[in-house]
């Protein structure tokens, strides 16, 4: 059975492997260039207060072809599950049912369970291996950049570490399941694409529930960075503050300014200090800022920091693999009961 699975799968396998080896080669080959930029900008040698150098490094690295590679990396890993689901998963059983060849192979001396088990297991492992290789190469390549920008920002996160493996495996099993249910390759491919996009978008929203959120709360510092918006004609003198989150908060879920009672601060502002008719506190917005700083306000940020990266990765991958296993169990049940 292993021989037959390999014989039927080898074209796709060679194609998939070639693609991934090419991706890995490109990223591993250009990594030294990226590290050179880090060294040349002085970022590598920097030991303290490196923010300036870090952003200089990221800016330089992202301007050339490396910037393109950085974008392509995310695209490759986000598209990979779809490709696997469509071209490895969906046709796996559907094509046999379409061509009637299941009647040929199931009448060899082999049970349907074993037939499906070898196919799901073998190609599922191949999927995990290929996704893992691509993700490893890209995660390693981008690590100097990610160190600056953070690993858990939603778009970066899904294209790093082991989560791409989870999505690829889920896409593969979902493709097989849909192919088995629909018995039509093309229809199964179309629906698989929908399901994968749905799973990834769903993952985007559910991800933040997987780890405990961190909270940052501190009084507004004298030099707080951010924006103020107010309407001069508003009789209630309502005012809104957007204060920049601290560097530790990589993935900001909620960012607000609160009063000492814990309520969100909405003013009222003092028109003497803030707004176009301000007379006190010096020129421009400076006076308003100082006035606001003096109002005993706090910034409260709910976030997921870089330290949660691996916890989040393991949990999300775990959820995806459990979902894949459930689908696989359903496949075994269905092939015994329903597929003729």
Partner 1 sequence: MTSAVITEHLTKKYGRKTALSDCSLDIPAGHVVGLVGPNGAGKSTLLQLVCGQLNPTAGGLTVLGGPPVTGSPRIGFVAQDTPVYGSLSIDDHLRFGKHLNPSWDDDLARERIERLDLDPKQKAGKLSGGQRAQVALTLAIAKRPELLLLDEPVAALDPLARREFLQGLMEYVAESGTSVVMSSHLVADLERVCDYLIVLVKSKVRVTGEVEELLATHHHVTGARVDPEKLGPGRTVIQARHTDVQSSLVVRSTAPIDDPAFSVAGIDLEDLVLAYMSEAANGRDRVLEKQR
* CB-nearer residue toward partner 1: 101 or 259: 101
* CB-nearer residue toward partner 1: 113 or 215: 113
* CB-nearer residue toward partner 1: 4 or 252: 4
Rounded to 5, what percent of the chain is helix, strand, coil?
65, 10, 25
* CB-nearer residue toward partner 1: 34 or 94: 94
Q: What angle do CA 62, 68, 71 make, to 5 degrees?
A: 90
CA distance 151 to 158: 9
Piece in contact with partner 1 (CB under 8 A), picked from 2-10, 39-47, 141-149, 318-326: 2-10
Q: DSSP characters for 303-340?
A: EE-GGGHHHHHHHHHHHHHHHHHHHHHHHHHHHHHT--
CA distance 165 to 81: 8
Least distance to partner 1, CB of residue 1, Å = 6
Question: Binding of partner 1 at residue 7 (CB under 8 A)?
Answer: yes
Q: DSSP characters for 156-169?
A: HHTTSTTHHHHHHH
Cα distances (angstroms) measured from residue 331 to each of 98, 99, 117: 17, 19, 10
CA distance 242 to 297: 12
Mark residues 83-122: x for contact with partner 1 by CB under 8 A, - for none.
----------------xxx-xxxxxxxxxx-xx-------
Question: Binding of partner 1 at residue 4 (CB under 8 A)?
Answer: yes
Q: Please say whether the beta carbons of 162 and 135 come within 8 A.
A: yes
Piece in contact with partner 1 (CB under 8 A), picked from 1-9, 58-66, 176-184, 251-259: 1-9
Q: Please say whether the beta carbons of 172 and 89 come within 8 A.
A: yes
User: Which candidate, 67, 46, 42, places its Cα nearest to that of 145?
Assistant: 67
Between residue 16 and residue 45, which ones bind partner 1 under the rule CB under 8 A?
none
Least distance to partner 1, CB of residue 207, Å = 41
Least distance to partner 1, CB of residue 3, Å = 5
Least distance to partner 1, CB of residue 189, Å = 18
* CB-nearer residue toward partner 1: 100 or 235: 100
Q: Please say whether the beta carbons of 169 and 124 come within 8 A.
A: yes
* CB-nearer residue toward partner 1: 68 or 103: 103
CA distance 135 to 159: 7
User: Which candidate, 299, 210, 302, 218, places its Cα nearest to that of 252?
Assistant: 302
* CB-nearer residue toward partner 1: 97 or 312: 97
* CB-nearer residue toward partner 1: 54 or 93: 93
Main-chain dihedrals φ then ψ at residue 210, nearest 5 degrees: -80, -20
DSSP character at residue 86 = I
Number of residues this chain uses to bind partner 1 (CB under 8 A): 23
Mark residues 252-281: x for contact with partner 1 by CB under 8 A, - for none.
------------------------------
Least distance to partner 1, CB of residue 337, Å = 8
* CB-nearer residue toward partner 1: 59 or 114: 114
Least distance to partner 1, CB of residue 17, Å = 19
Question: Binding of partner 1 at residue 10 (CB under 8 A)?
Answer: no
Binding site for partner 1 (CB under 8 A): 1-4, 7-8, 99-101, 103-112, 114-115, 337, 340
């Amino acid at each position: 059975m292993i021989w037959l699975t390999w014989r039927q799968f080898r074209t796709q396998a060679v194609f998939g492997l070639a693609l991934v080896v090419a991706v890995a080669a490109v990223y591993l080959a250009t990594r030294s260039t990226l590290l050179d930029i880090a060294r040349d900008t002085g970022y590598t040698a920097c030991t303290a207060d490196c923010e300036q150098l870090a952003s200089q490094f990221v800016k330089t690295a992202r301007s050339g072809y490396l910037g393109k590679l950085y974008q392509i990396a995310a695209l490759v890993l986000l598209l990979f599950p779809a490709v696997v689901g469509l071209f490895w998963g969906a046709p796996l059983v559907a094509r046999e049912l379409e061509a009637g060849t299941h009647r040929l192979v199931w009448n060899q001396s082999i049970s349907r369970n074993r037939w499906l088990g070898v196919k799901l297991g073998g190609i599922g492992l191949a999927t995990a291996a290929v996704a893992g290789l691509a993700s490893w190469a890209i995660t390693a390549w981008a690590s100097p950049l990610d160190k600056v920008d953070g690993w858990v920002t939603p778009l970066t996160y899904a294209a790093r570490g082991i989560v791409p493996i989870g999505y690829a495996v889920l896409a593969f099993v979902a493709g097989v399941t849909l192919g088995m249910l629909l018995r039509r390759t093309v229809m199964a491919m179309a629906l698989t694409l929908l399901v994968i996009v749905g799973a990834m978008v769903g993952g985007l929203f559910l991800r933040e529930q997987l780890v405990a959120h961190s909270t940052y709360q501190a009084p507004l510092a004298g030099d707080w960075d951010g924006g103020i918006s107010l309407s001069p004609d508003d009789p209630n003198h309502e005012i809104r503050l957007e204060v920049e989150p601290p560097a530790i908060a990589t993935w900001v879920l909620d960012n607000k300014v609160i009063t000492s009672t814990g309520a969100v601060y909405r003013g009222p502002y003092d028109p003497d200090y803030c707004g176009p008719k301000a007379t006190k506190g010096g020129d421009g917005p400076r006076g308003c800022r100082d006035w606001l700083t003096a109002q005993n306000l706090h910034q409260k940020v709910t976030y997921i920091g870089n330290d949660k990266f691996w916890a989040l990765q393991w949990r999300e991958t775990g959820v995806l693999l459990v979902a894949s296993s459930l689908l696989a169990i359903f496949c075994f049940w269905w092939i015994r009961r329903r597929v003729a």
